[in-house]
Amino acid sequence: MAVKITVQPFGEYEGKQVNKYTITGDSGMQVGVINYGATITNIIIPDKNGSLADIVLGFESLSGYINAGDYYFGGVCGRYANRIANASFMINGSEYKLAGNNGISCLHGGFKGFDKVYWDAEILSDGNGVTFMYNSKDGEEGFPGNMKVAVSYRLVRNALHIEYTATTDKATPVNLTSHCYFNLSGSDDLNIKEHELSLNADYFVEVGTDNIPTGNLVEVLNTQLDFRETKKLSSNLNGYDQTWVLKNNNGKLMEAAKLFHSKSGREMTVLTTKPGIHFYNGYHLKGNYPGTKKGKDYQQYAGLCLEAQHFPDSPNHSNFPNTVLAPGEVYNHKTIYSFEHLNKN
């Protein structure tokens, strides 16, 4: 498959030029990514009739992403995606205090997480994607260690492959994910109520006050969090903001979720090496974001996130999968968003 990459200026941030890298495949699928936050700005795919549309929420210019604040439109969340309780954790007997940007907790890396920094970029040698690189300094937002991180976006046939790698010179927790808001209608529908979702999970991470895990992993059986069979989201529009425990996860690539929109025929399958999938249905979206694509009003439920990641607050729960990266180790995870255009009727 021939992949074409074009590079265009997309604005300036902290005195550095931000470029937009547009990756286009033979089928017409396009992925746009920028240096600011290693952000995905566009995923353009066909519907069942072959009509192309952009299926992620975003903005026409860089200022839109900057001014959107803590809504993380398309950005890479880190150094630790999701929440860390009381903005603190212990490693080897030492306590580390983080930025408390979500009440008394740390969310998505702090006040200036990886979604709000400038990343260096280079086109991959095989020509099918782009790698973004960032050096996170020891003490940044309170996290220990100088950490080198890279995020690669590749277009392989009808799928976006994301690979995350990191190394550190001091033990530190790491949890990286993409925070895309998906709307498979291509924004023809201004909410995700007609989307159908299934999750490959028998358990979810129980949370208490302020969405902080209790430490318990609870069966989805007989709960509103049971997505083992496909559910239309209009059947229950509670404020989903939860992490599910993926079945049989041993660090190998596996299916985590499937999302379908019948009117367009677009279907997205999420595969990942990570132990969890976080489903957020966009109930905190408030609208009135300046500079949105085609002036769309991103109100509550305008898009949803399916974030492949480790469990929230893992550094404070010894029974959760380990998220501490030690010197000499390599953090390496992959997530794939694969797309089809189907007519299931």
CA distance 339 to 189: 19
Told to judge if 307 belongs to the known catalytic residues of this protein, a careful annotator would answer: yes
Told to judge if 333 belongs to the known catalytic residues of this protein, a careful annotator would answer: no
Cα 78 versus chain centre, distance: 10
> In this structure, what is the dihedral angle of CA atoms 94, 98, 104, 108, given to the nearest 10 degrees?
-130
The candidate with the shortest Cα–Cα distance to 172, out of 89, 251, 76, 82, is 89
Consecutive H or E run containing 216: strand 213-219
User: Locate tokens 């430490």: which residue?
Assistant: 215
Q: Which one is catalytic: 179, 261, 310, 341?
A: 179
Q: Assess contact for 153 and 180: CB atoms under 8 A.
A: no
Q: Which one is catalytic: 307, 310, 317, 333?
A: 307
Phi-psi region of 231 (alpha: psi -120 to 50; beta: other; left: phi over 0): beta
Which sequence positions are flagged as catalytic? 179, 307
